[in-house]
Amino acid sequence: MIELTINGQAIRAQAGSSVLAAARANGITIPSLCDHPDLKPYGGCRLCVVEVEGARTPPAACTLPVAPGMVVQTETPALAAARQAVLELLLANYVDGDAPAAGPAETEFMRWVRRYGLAAPAGVAPRYPVDADPNPFIRVDMNKCILCLRCVRACAEVQGRFVWGTAERGFDTRIVAGADTALLGARCESCGACVAYCPTGALDDKLSRGLGAAERKVTTTCTYCGVGCQLDLNVRENRIVGVTSNPAAPVNGMALCVKGRYGYDFVHHPQRLTQPRVRGYLLEGDGRRPAGGSRGPWVETDWDTALNLVVRRLTAIKQAAGPDAIGVLASAKCTNEENYLMNKLARQLIGTHNVDHCARLCHASTVAGLAMCYGSGAMSNTMADIYAHARAIFIIGSNTTEQHPVFGARIRQAVLQRGVKLVVADPRRIDIAEFAAPRFGGLHLRQRPGADVALVNGLMHIILRAGWHDAAYIQARCEGFQDLETTLAHYPPALAAEITGVPVDQLHQAAEIIARNKPMAVFWAMGITQHTTGVFNVLSLGNLQMLLGNMGVPGGGVNPLRGQNNVQGACDMGALPNVFPGYQAVTDEKARAKFAAAWALHDGGPHLAETPGLTVTELIPLAGEGQIKALYILGEDPVLTDPDVNHVRRCLDACDFIVLQEIFPSETAEFADVLLPGTAFAEKDGTFTNTERRVQLARQAVSPPGQARPDWAIIADLGRRLLAHEGRRPAGPQAGWDYACPAQLMDEIAAVTPSYAGVSHERLERGDTLHWPVKGRDHPGTPILHIGQFTRGLGKFFAIDHLPPKELPDDEFPMVLTIGRVIYHWHGGEMTRRAEGLLAVYPETLVEINPEDAVRIGLNGAQTVRVTSRRGEMLAKAIVTDRVSPGLIFGNFHFPGAQNVNNLTIAALDPIAKIPEYKVCAVRIEAVAGDSPEAAPGLAQAAAPAGRSAPGGAN
Amino acid sequence: MRAAMAHRANGHPPPAPPEVTAAVTAAVAEHGDAAGALIPVLSAVNRRLGYLPPAALAEVSRRLGMPASRVYGVARFYTLLSTEPRGRHLVQFCENAPCHVVGGRRVWEALRQALGLAPGETSADGRFTLITTSCIGACAVGPVVVIDDEVHGNLTPDQVEALLARYA
């Protein structure tokens, strides 16, 4: 520590810290513009000049390191004059086109201008066009730019995208995007970091323009992915008028992605459901559904009518066909409290374990696999831990920068700033692969889809032969190693190369990188899980991390990136057919007894079955066969997102009675009999649990539209009505359905869920960081799992052999289709297709096809392709790109109808986790003749020679 | 409009013409692809193509693994590089003080008149581009004009026509 004096105050500061940072840390504000605590010092604006005893001229505090005995003054008349002069120079060419009408802007720059008694001069001619960029989110007005370069540095140091730069010299110097193009042409991801860091409003939020200043800001947790970013909803007159960064956000700081920052307007979309709807037939005559064809017209009704109808129908079906004829689908978009209630509704009141949710379709294999090898099926380390401590990162089957953008940006920075070695294994040349380039000491492996076990076995074979494994760790903490060793002997590099398509030398290089840079953290997502070998893939990665001794250590671990904002929480809350909340198995007699007592009813219920219920991927097909008579679906859209949606439609059509609780009339609504208007994330309180098991608050910012109600309130109301209708009364301590608020619900969850025992809204409001397991009110949570010993005791190696995907290409269907998502959309797109800016940048599905295949099918000149599988076809625009290898095509499921790739996918299931093999099926592709020949997108790539791609460069 | 925006969002540049690819390949072969090679590479490509078209900047960015914004910033910073097409011959007039005090202004006016160009302009026949430059270090022989790589010193206004005539 270094001791110095600032304004007469004795201060201790870290060696290497700047005078500005030391002052800031001690509550002394030195005026500054180009400096920001998140960014490297730049020393450009000269506003932070200070007087230092013994120095000839006042130095800039931001670039001045603290020195022992330094005596600093930050406020003197001479400094004030110097700062005035700096501000006057900055103002000389500053033109705020809004100011004449709106008055001086409330920006950091204008606050300092006013503080030093200055004002923007009148009559300055603008030098640049106002609103100069067509980007739908970011408004560019360089007339307000003071060249502080915060945007340039934020784009480089926070986002790692390097879109902004400077061009020209002297007075002509200006900020440009890429090679002076539009932002989107310069690989801008529209994350808005540049806007968040801009102190003048030269870069501004386009969507917020003209909506007025926020009356209040409500800090809440983002509704999109599992990273769990916190952000401030800016509210005016009960509407969200913008989203701003909250520097105190624990996971993300100032960083957000395009969806989190700019994808909020769906909340106020005119298609929001505002009143309960039931099919007309339910209110007439005998209430029988019209034979054949559609379910008939909707009738808007009141909550009493709708909920009583649901109660009567569900009870009737339960009495006639038994409770297991009913299926309940919870929602990874909803809160922990709501998912807990869905689990309770199914198990306590309906009497079935048939409760599941979309985790089945994303990480069921992770949960099952990790439970088998370690005893706990969740991300073992935290994002911040890995960012700070990992020396190597192995990403396999995760398109991190598009699907978990804020964490993807962190990984870029880990490579750039800490020299972390990155190995990416992905059939596609996804964006993050740029940072796995040899010049960063990394590598991108392009394995064939479905060859992950062979790849990981091949890597482990090399590691073992080279003696890079951690024998002491294996000996002390694991079991079953010999079986693994025997199996690995059958995966020499030559064979692994043959199966995976990855050259032998790359296998050697990758093995060395991941084995010799410890700790190494593994990340995966759907590329690993959505296979018929999903559980085997996960077990292989579990093997790898035990082999290297990377479990239970900072900077290592197994790190499945969870997709939905609360998919971790929905699993935790028992929205799964085999477990009660906290993964207490329904097959465990003690667990059943515990919940039978907690949820006890006066009539001796609930009767909790000894065997698990059915999964989503079983419930829907069984609805088609008449075995499942009713579905209660909360915030899911299986008609878009389940595999082989043509079959899904037939099954839902056959189902007797479907209740859908939603915020929009989704594609699935077509098959529903009752539609209950729920609420969006901004309209309710509760908690979400992010991918790293961190429980965070979601706070209500605006009131729900019309008669829409918070989902927890709807489910609780339904619960009370079910109790009353059946004449049952609560007897156990957690058996009732009267809840005043989600905080009270969390208390009930904590009482029955050991891993949430210490979680409460009160602690979260206080700012406690809670990663489960949180074992009690004073327990600090558990950021890293498996320290000292695995949850199951010894970690278990599983000897896994490669198995091919279910459906391989043949003469009729010669191409492999793999699927995924794009950065601008979310899942089935119900929200993002109703966010104006997101739809503007990505208005339709694009199918990726390799240049060689494009030439082969004669795509040159045509734009639209027809892709056909054994199950259906899709029609969409093609994008020709070497992101995919020859023989591979890629599509997404963000758009309904003919553009949906799930018309093609196969519902082949992993035998253990019942997760479908979305990632591989066989298709054929053809160009659609007569299509407009205008600009076949991306044909560029066909002519461009292969070369390494550039971060921020063209690609 | 929407579709166009979408395709831009996916970051696919127009194809690099073969002569651009060839120029960048040759420059990278000569100077390497480390970050420090940026200026020599741009300079070599500029020399071969006469200027740095967008496709060349994109290609250099890709080969050097360097952000397009940085490549462009450097290309716009140095007078020896140009992102606009230039004439077959580049006429650079030194506008610094030592040339000025020995009669540079009259030479400058003669140059402008003979070429019929303002600074930064290129003649319609593509023969000349006229720019001004800062000191080239030949003050002893001022006024100085550099045409392509040749330095012409001790110039007087009446020599200008004949000098230009040597460059076809």
Give the model's pLDDT for residue A943: 30
CA-angle at A950, arms to A945 and A952, nearest 5°: 130
pLDDT band, very low/low/confident/very high, at A286 (cuts 50, 70, 90): confident
**Predicted confidence (pLDDT) per residue in A901-926, tens digit:** 999 999 999 999 999 999 999 999 99
**Residue A884 and residue A944 in contact, taking contact as beta carbons nearer than 8 Å:** no
Cβ neighbours of B71 in A, within 8 Å? 179, 953
**Predicted confidence (pLDDT) per residue in A745-793, tens digit:** 999 999 999 999 999 999 999 999 999 999 999 999 999 999 999 999 9
Q: Is the pLDDT of residue A945 over 60?
A: no
Element (H, E) at A417: helix A405-418
Residue B108 and residue B130: Cα distance in Å, rounded?
A: 10
The secondary structure of residue A223, as a DSSP letter, is S
What does pLDDT average to over chain A?
94
Give the model's pLDDT for residue A862: 67
Q: Is the pLDDT of residue A293 over 80?
A: no
Cβ neighbours of A824 in B, within 8 Å? 9
Residue A663 and residue B17: Cα distance in Å, rounded?
A: 51
Give the model's pLDDT for residue A576: 96
pLDDT above 70 covers a percentage of chain A that reads 97
pLDDT band, very low/low/confident/very high, at A276 (cuts 50, 70, 90): very high
Contact of B45 with chain A, judged by CB distance below 8 Å, is answered with no
CA distance B14 to chain A (A): 5
- List Cβ neighbours of B111 (8 Å cut-off, separation of 6 or more): B91, B93, B130, B145, B160
Of A178, A879, A950, the CB nearest to B65: A950
Q: Is the pLDDT of residue A950 over 50?
A: no
pTM: 0.93
pLDDT band, very low/low/confident/very high, at A929 (cuts 50, 70, 90): confident
**Residue A258 and residue A823 in contact, taking contact as beta carbons nearer than 8 Å:** yes
**Predicted confidence (pLDDT) per residue in A29-56, tens digit:** 999 999 999 999 999 999 999 999 999 9
Contact A954 B61 (CB under 8 A): yes
Residue A166 and residue B25: Cα distance in Å, rounded?
A: 26
Averaged pLDDT, A803-822: 96
Q: Is the pLDDT of residue A821 over 80?
A: yes
Contact of B134 with chain A, judged by CB distance below 8 Å, is answered with no
Contact A943 B15 (CB under 8 A): yes
In A22-107, at which residue ranges do the beta strands (DSSP E only) sit? Answer: 51-52, 71-73
Give the model's pLDDT for residue B14: 59
The residue of chain B with its CA nearest to that of A188 is B9
Give the model's pLDDT for residue A55: 93
Retrieve residue A845's tokens.
């599905």
Averaged pLDDT, A689-713: 97
Burial class (CB in 10 A: 0-12, 13-18, 19+), A793: exposed
Give the model's pLDDT for residue A73: 97
The secondary structure of residue A142, as a DSSP letter, is G
CA distance A171 to chain B (A): 12
Torsion of CA A933, A935, A937, A938, to 10 degrees: 120
**Predicted confidence (pLDDT) per residue in A526-581, tens digit:** 999 999 999 999 999 999 999 999 999 999 999 999 999 999 999 999 999 999 99
The residue of chain A with its CA nearest to that of B3 is A843
Contact A167 B76 (CB under 8 A): yes
The residue of chain A with its CA nearest to that of B9 is A184
**CB under 8 Å, gap of 24 or more: what pairs does A478-486 form?**
A478/A546, A478/A794, A478/A795, A478/A796, A478/A797, A479/A794, A479/A795, A479/A796, A479/A797, A480/A796, A480/A797, A480/A798, A480/A799, A481/A797, A483/A797, A483/A798, A483/A799, A484/A460, A484/A543, A484/A547, A484/A797, A484/A798, A484/A799, A486/A799
Q: In what order do the strands lie in the sheet with A558-560?
A: A443-445, A421-425, A392-396, A520-524, A558-560
Averaged pLDDT, B29-52: 95
Q: Is the pLDDT of residue A319 over 60?
A: yes
Of A439, A942, A947, the CB nearest to B62: A947
Contact A950 B68 (CB under 8 A): yes
Residue A952 and residue B73: Cα distance in Å, rounded?
A: 13
Torsion sign (Cα): A678, A680, A686, A688 = positive
pLDDT above 90 covers a percentage of chain A that reads 93
- List Cβ neighbours of A378 (8 Å cut-off, separation of 6 or more): A367, A370, A560, A568, A693, A785
SS3 A626: coil
- List Cβ neighbours of A518 (8 Å cut-off, separation of 6 or more): A391, A392, A548, A549, A550, A556
CA distance B59 to chain A (A): 8
pLDDT band, very low/low/confident/very high, at B79 (cuts 50, 70, 90): confident
* Phi, psi for residue A160 in degrees, rounded to 5: 70, 35
Contact A169 B77 (CB under 8 A): yes
Give the model's pLDDT for residue A863: 86
Give the model's pLDDT for residue B12: 52
| Residue among A122, A111, A23 nearest A75 (CA) | A23
In the block, residue with structure tokens 């490579």: A415
**Predicted confidence (pLDDT) per residue in B89-117, tens digit:** 999 999 999 999 999 999 999 999 999 99
Q: Is the pLDDT of residue A706 over 90?
A: yes
Cβ neighbours of B4 in A, within 8 Å? 935
Cβ neighbours of A165 in B, within 8 Å? 67-70, 72-73
Averaged pLDDT, A385-407: 97
Give the model's pLDDT for residue A287: 79
**Residue A244 and residue A196 in contact, taking contact as beta carbons nearer than 8 Å:** yes
**Residue A783 and residue A381 in contact, taking contact as beta carbons nearer than 8 Å:** yes
Contact of A935 with chain B, judged by CB distance below 8 Å, is answered with yes
Cβ neighbours of B59 in A, within 8 Å? 954
Q: Is A380 left (phi over 0), alpha (psi -120 to 50) or beta?
A: alpha
Give the model's pLDDT for residue B132: 92
Contact B67 A165 (CB under 8 A): yes
Contact of B62 with chain A, judged by CB distance below 8 Å, is answered with yes
Give the model's pLDDT for residue A935: 39
Averaged pLDDT, A856-869: 88
Cβ neighbours of A186 in B, within 8 Å? 68-69
Contact B72 A179 (CB under 8 A): yes
The residue of chain A with its CA nearest to that of B75 is A167
- List Cβ neighbours of A80 (8 Å cut-off, separation of 6 or more): A116
Measured distance between the N- and C-terminal CA atoms of chain A, rounded to whole angstroms:
46
Q: Are strands A174-177 and A71-73 parallel, antiparallel or unpaired?
A: unpaired
| Residue among B28, B74, B50, B67 nearest A945 (CA) | B28
Give the model's pLDDT for residue A159: 97
Averaged pLDDT, A937-949: 31
The secondary structure of residue A355, as a DSSP letter, is E
**Residue A180 and residue A217 in contact, taking contact as beta carbons nearer than 8 Å:** no
Contact of B105 with chain A, judged by CB distance below 8 Å, is answered with no
Contact of A165 with chain B, judged by CB distance below 8 Å, is answered with yes
Of A176, A944, A948, the CB nearest to B72: A176
Give the model's pLDDT for residue A687: 98
The residue of chain A with its CA nearest to that of B70 is A165
Give the model's pLDDT for residue A930: 62
Cβ neighbours of B54 in A, within 8 Å? 179
